[in-house]
């Protein structure tokens, strides 16, 4: 665990596009694995920045690229009904090809950092949970933590076939976390995701929290479930330790 960290906004270049990204990393003279943090529909807001810093304090370089950079630079908002509508409108305009490309650009940026220690994982929430599943297909991603990623079974941004059809391409270990009170992700979809991961022999664990709703990890939302959040955080740290540690 890192005693002190440094956090700042940086710029990730993807061709002509400059992507805003929030970077947090331990202060030390060693190298560290890296974690890409994928936002909810609300942008790289205070909660996502806090998660990024929490991960850095655990001894990882953490970076949260803005997934809506092409649509709404510097967008961040809270959790009101109006904010949800705006966030969903932006989400509907994203494209899988661009999200994958932006992740590849973020990986390239991480590799330029002196403290980068080779291994890369991801974590994502809500919309970001879906993107964590999607980008787990990239060869550099050794571990992915997907929190309540709606639509994995039914759609893929800008594509005809849903993201679940790419499951066989996942290279590393995937953990997925669901609240079973979440109306946006029926239990049958959770079962389908588990079955698909099993069928394709993907290293994985599925966590079902019976009393948790959508957004249960976010302590700024009414659906925050401290017991489920604490357990999920422990599981994520175990995943990263297992999959990203040297050797």
pLDDT tens column, 161-193 = 999 999 999 999 999 999 999 999 999 999 999
Catalytic residue selected from 20, 102, 156, 182 = 182
pLDDT tens-digit readout, 8-41: 999 999 999 999 999 999 998 899 999 999 999 9
Residue 218 a catalytic site member = no
Q: What is the pLDDT of residue 245?
A: 84
- Under a CB-based contact definition with an 8 Å cutoff, are residues 130 and 144 in contact? no
Q: pLDDT > 70: what percent of the chain? A: 98
Which pLDDT does position 118 carry in this prediction?
A: 81
Instruction: Give start and end residues of each alpha helix (H) in 115-199.
Output: 127-135, 187-199
Catalytic residue (one of 102, 204, 214, 218): 214
- pLDDT digit string, tens, across residues 133-142: 999 999 999 9
Confidence (pLDDT) at 232: 98
How, if at all, do strands 61-65 and 32-38 pair? parallel
Spatial separation of the C-alpha atoms in residues 19 and 39, rounded to whole Å: 14
Please give the backbone phi and psi of residue 10, each rounded to the nearest 5 degrees, phi first: -130, 175
Distance CA 15, CA 173 (A): 30
As given in the structure block, the two tokens for residue 131 are: 């993107």
How long is the chain? 247
The whole-angstrom separation of Cα 186 and Cα 188 is 5
Mean pLDDT (whole number) for 41-65: 97
**CA 159 to each of CA 92, 162, 164: distance values in angstroms, whole numbers, following the listed order:** 11, 7, 12
What per-residue confidence (pLDDT) applies to 1? Answer: 66
Residue 119 neighbours by CB under 8 Å, 6+ apart: 33, 34, 142, 243, 244, 245, 246
Which residue spans within 133-220 are E strands per DSSP? 141-147, 173-179, 204-209
- Asked whether 245 and 33 are in contact (CB, 8 A), the reply is yes
- Encoded tokens for 147: 């929190």
The residue whose two tokens read 């594509």 is 159
**Contacts for 114 with CB less than 8 Å, ≥ 6 apart:** none
160 has pLDDT over 80 = yes
Active-site residue, 200 included: no
Average pLDDT of the residues of the chain: 96
The residue whose two tokens read 């291994």 is 119
The span from the first CA to the last CA of the chain, in angstroms, equals 19
Residue 156 among the catalytic residues: no
pLDDT number for residue 165: 98
pLDDT of 48 strictly over 70: yes
**Among 47, 126, 130, 204, which one carries the catalytic annotation?**
126
């Amino acid at each position: 665990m890192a005693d002190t960290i440094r956090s700042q906004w940086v710029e990730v270049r993807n061709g002509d596009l400059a992507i805003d990204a929030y970077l947090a990393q331990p202060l030390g003279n060693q190298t560290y694995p890296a974690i890409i943090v994928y936002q909810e529909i609300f942008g790289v807001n205070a909660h996502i920045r806090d998660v990024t810093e929490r991960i850095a304090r655990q001894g990882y370089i953490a970076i949260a690229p803005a997934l809506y950079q092409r649509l709404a630079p510097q967008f961040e908002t809270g959790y009101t009904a109006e904010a949800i509508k705006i966030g969903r409108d932006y989400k509907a305009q994203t494209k899988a090809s661009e999200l994958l490309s932006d992740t590849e650009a973020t990986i390239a940026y991480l590799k330029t950092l002196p403290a980068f220690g080779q291994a890369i994982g991801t974590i994502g929430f809500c919309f970001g949970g879906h993107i964590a599943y999607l980008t787990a297909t990239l060869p550099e991603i050794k571990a992915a933590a997907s929190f309540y990623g709606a639509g994995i079974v039914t759609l893929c941004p800008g594509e005809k076939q849903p993201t679940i059809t790419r499951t066989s391409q996942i290279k590393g270990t995937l953990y997925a976390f669901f609240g079973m009170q979440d109306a946006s992700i029926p239990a049958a979809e959770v079962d389908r995701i588990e079955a698909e991961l099993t069928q394709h022999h993907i290293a994985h664990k599925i966590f079902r929290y019976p009393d948790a709703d959508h957004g249960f990890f976010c302590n700024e939302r009414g659906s925050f479930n401290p017991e489920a959040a604490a357990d999920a955080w422990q599981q994520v740290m175990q995943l990263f330790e297992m999959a990203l540690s040297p050797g």
